[in-house]
Structure 1
Amino acid sequence: MAKEPQELKWIESLLPEGDYRRKAMFGGFIYYIEDKAVLLIFESEGGSRTYKGKKYDFDLWNGCMFPVDKEFQEQALQRCPFLIPHPILPKWLYLPVHTEHFDELATEVLKQVLRPHSFWGSIPKSKLKTKKDPFRGIPDKMDTTRPRMFTDEPAEEVLKRAKKISDLKNLGAESEKHFLKAGIKTPQQFIKLGWKKTLLKLIAMNPKHRHSIYAYALIGALTNREFNLISQAEKDEARSFVQGLAKKEKELKKKALAKNTPKKVTKKKTAKKK
């Protein structure tokens, strides 16, 4: 049974609200707009990297897949060369979650997918001759993974009454586990640390948290807003902070590499006596 998306839940907000359907598929979720499949999301950190004896340098089931019919794949790959045909489902172009700048790239692809008359997406053969479903666009199930008890209350009230990390906006049960591993056990600890120090602790526990989307979620949690509804200024600050961390990491790697690289010893030339 497919588990509710956690790390990639934000991608759903890029789809037109009320106009898509979601169904469980292969342990992940497939998304339809009308009869066209446009997106497949999997979350399987540390899963299989081998298929038919060949080993890949990425998890096979941890990221986003975008279906494209065979005749359009070359065109799609020219526009998005960072995508790769999935080793097992070659009709789907794959973006592994640990791809650098994953969130920006996934957003870029979905913008193209959602354009009118886009060649992206695929209509299953079984749907080609069926009539339109009058209930299309109505979600199969309501998302009950996030607490709604404080949805319309002021942030101060939410933070005051929250007893668990998962009581806060944008933070579900999976996020709560990450917080606990990072040593943040209560909402009060989170509030005291603030989003920047909290993000640093989460990154120290697992580098995959170094994404601007995680920063958005933390800011939203502290202000009782959906991560995609925080202000543009807050988004800019979050992106700048995360990019700064990436630069620092690169600098540290360069210094470490330089320190471990043995220096070449040059022999001094002695002048020959006449």
Structure 2
Amino acid sequence: MAKEPLELKWIEDLLPEEGYRRKSMFGGFAYYLDEKIILITFEAGDKPKDKINWNGCMFPVEHDSQAQALAQFPILKPHKILPKWLYLPIETEGFEEWVSDILKIALRPHSIWGSYPKQKKTSKDAKSKKPKLVINEKIDTRHPRMFSDDDPTLVLQKAKKLSDLKNIGPVLEELLHDAGIKTPQQMQKLGWQKTMVKLVKVHPKTNHSMYAYTIITALENKDFGGMSEQQKSEVRAYMKTLRDRLKS
């Protein structure tokens, strides 16, 4: 199994900037908020047998709440092997948008989405033992943003590296470097569309709307929620055109 997510790495940009943890599970990657599992991602890669059941996202929902969850998102189906988990295959049309919409609901306080794993007992008297105090168990895998409240033009003038921009972490920064985009000013001059063309040509698996959202919000210094539905629709249309163009 890969040490890092590849095709679905962009999903981490949808999670809170602080506090989520990633852990290997079932051959995929589980994402926790505190002690609650929010989702697991799977990438089948070049394994045809895995593409049926192990290529996409799984969202844990307790059986008593699954009817409510499926009413919210009927696109989901209980996983054939792990029925507690609701499955969204990566080949689903509009996959990126579905994942984004589901996580917006799943991340709300007191949501029915998510699951708390049962604690394993290490001895017969485990119940009598006091739980071990864990300090600052949360792991922030994001790079701190230096100019989060400034005007976009000022941010781009001050930023010395791509990861100084909002929403761009070290992984995407490295991918952009591979595509020949080294500085924030260079990306600004290209604009998001030409940036995506260069990025996708070098890393075809980045041909997702979420990567475009990340580039746009970085250039405009705003969160994903700051994008209008019209803007997202225009991005999806462009990315579809780009996919079709590169296939031909």
Compute the TM-score of the two structures, normalised by the length of structure 1: 0.62
- The verdict on how the C-alpha distance between 1:200 and 1:163 changes in structure 2, with shifts beyond 3 A counting, is same
1:139-150 paired onto structure 2 within 5 Å: 140-141=137-138, 143=140, 145-150=142-147
Q: Tell me the residue number matched to 2:231.
A: 237
Once the two structures are superposed, the pairs formed by residues 1-274 of structure 1 within 5 Å of their partners are 6-13=9-16, 22=21, 24-26=23-25, 28-31=29-32, 37=36, 39-42=38-41, 47=45, 49=47, 55-57=49-51, 60=54, 63-69=56-62, 80-83=74-77, 85=79, 87=81, 89-110=82-103, 113=106, 120-126=113-119, 140-141=137-138, 143=140, 145-226=142-223, 228-232=224-228, 235-247=229-241, 249-250=243-244
Q: Identify which of structures 1 and 2 has the higher relative contact order when contacts are C-alpha pairs closer than 8 Å and 6+ apart.
A: 2
Q: Note the C-alpha offset of 1:200.
A: 2.0
Q: Cα offset for 1:142?
A: 5.6
Q: Deviations for 1:99-132, whole angstroms, at most 9, x for unmatched residues?
A: 43112222444466578997654444449x9xxx
Q: Which runs of 5+ in 2 are unaligned?
A: 121-126
Q: 1:153 to 1:99 in 2, by over 3 A?
A: same
How far did residue 66 of structure 1 move? 1.0
Residues in 2 aligned to 1:108 and 1:76: alpha-carbon distance in whole angstroms: 12
How far apart, in 1, do the equivalents of 2:13 and 2:137 lie? 18
**CA deviation digits over 1:249-270, x for unaligned, max 9?**
55897xx6xxxxxxxxxxxxxx
Rate the CA distance shift 1:163–1:212 in 2: closer, same or farther, 3 A: same
- 1:8, distance to aligned residue in structure 2 (A): 0.8
CA–CA distance in structure 2, aligned partners of residues 167 and 144 of structure 1:
15
Q: Distance in 1 between matches of 2:46 and 2:87?
A: 15
Asked whether the 8 Å contact 1:6–1:172 carries over to 2, the reply is no
Which amino acid in 2 is paired with 1:230?
G
How far has the Cα of 1:247 moved from its partner?
A: 4.8
In the alignment, is the contact (CA less than 8 A) between 1:49 and 1:58 conserved in 2?
no
Structure 2 distance, partners of 1:237, 1:72, is: 34
Verify the 8 A CA contact 2:197 2:242 in the aligned structure 1. no
Distance 2:91 2:200 in 1: 14
Q: Given that residues 10 and 210 in structure 2 are in contact (C-alpha distance below 8 angstroms), is that contact kept between their aligned partners in structure 1? A: no
| TM-score, normalised by the number of residues in structure 2 | 0.68
Say whether the 8 Å CA contact 1:39–1:64 is kept in structure 2. no
For structure 1, the 5+ residue unaligned runs are 257-274
Deviation at 1:84, TM superposition (A): 5.5
- Number of aligned residue pairs: 233
Percent identity (aligned):
41
SS in structure 2 of the partner of residue 141 of structure 1 = coil
**Residues 13 and 167 in structure 2, CA contact (< 8 A), matched pair in contact too:** no
